[in-house]
Amino acid sequence: MNRIRSGRRLEQECQRNIELIWLLGGLRPGYHSITDFRRDNAKVLKALNRGFVRLCRELDLNRG
């Protein structure tokens, strides 16, 4: 939603964004952990994103 892509920027958001802090249950992952997770789970994350987009289309949630 906020177009944050870098691991270091995501690390900063994990410490600043109150919604993200709540979602993570107070965990504060480092950029290296975030980058490793994204690299190690690339196929699963891609499939998850595709499924989410498909669901949004089926529910007619994306307009324009």
**pLDDT tens over the chain, length 64 residues:** 678 889 999 999 999 999 999 999 999 999 999 999 999 999 999 999 999 999 999 999 977 5
Cα–Cα distance list, 5 to 2, 37, 42, 55 (Å)? 9, 13, 14, 23
pLDDT at 63: 73
pLDDT at 1: 65
Identify the three-state secondary structure at position 24. coil
Structure tokens at 33: 């952990």
Tell if the pTM clears 0.75, that is, is over it.
no
The residue to which tokens 């952990």 are assigned? 33
